[in-house]
Amino acid sequence: MERIAECGILGYPPRVVGTTGGPAQGAACKRDSSKMNINNTEISCGVWQLDHFIRFEPIEEELKFLVRYVKTRSVSKPAFFIWSHYECVEGVEYSRTGGHQFAELVNGRFGTVTKSERAKNPNTGNMIVLWYWTVDWDKIDKWWKDLKLQGNQEVNKGL
C-alpha cells in the first residue's frame, strides 16, 4: 500500500497524506498528528475519506488545509467527503471531537452534512458515527477567493 509523505504544509511538520486503509509499514507509519489525513486513493475519484481530525482553534484551519490540498495537489474535486469519529468511549460521551466540529463548520455553509446512527466499532468497542458531506464547490470557491482577497497568508502560499 503506497503512502505519500508531504512536508511542511501550512507551516506544520511533516505528516502522511494518501492511503489510510491498512497498517503502514516502516517509516511511513511515523506521521505527525498535527493535521488530518486526506485519502483520495481508495474509495473513488468522487468520494474521499478524511480522518484524524485535530481540534484546532478554530477548526476552520482543517478546512483551509483541505481546500489548499484539493486546489494545489489534486487534478479533480470530489463530490463527497466521508469521515468517522467516536461518540462514546467506555461510557464517556463525546460531542465536541474534531470530526463533530468539522461537520458543524461545513454543514449548510459549504454543502450538506449527513450523520449516521451510532454503531459499535467491533475493533475497539467504541461507539462511532459516520458523516458524509455533499460538497458545494461553488460556495467553497467563493470563500477561498474572499480569503485570498483579504490577503490571508496561508491561502496565498503554495503547497
Listed by start position, the domains of the chain span 3-152
CATH architecture of 3-152: 3-Layer(aba) Sandwich (3.40)
Whether cis (ω within 30° of 0) applies to the bond prior to 58 is yes
- The 3-state DSSP class for residue 18 equals strand
Segment 104-141, tens digit of pLDDT: 999 999 999 999 999 999 998 888 899 999 999 999 99
48-51, Cβ contacts within 8 angstroms, sequence gap of 24 or more: 48/78, 48/80, 48/81, 48/82, 49/20, 49/81, 49/82, 49/83, 50/81, 50/82, 50/83, 50/102, 51/20, 51/83, 51/84
Q: What's the pLDDT score for residue 138?
A: 97
**Sites in the chain below the pLDDT cut of 50:** 1-32, 159
Q: What's the pLDDT score for residue 41?
A: 63
Q: What is the CA radius of gyration of the chain?
A: 16
What does the alpha-carbon distance between residue 77 and residue 66 come to, in Å, rounded to a whole number? 11
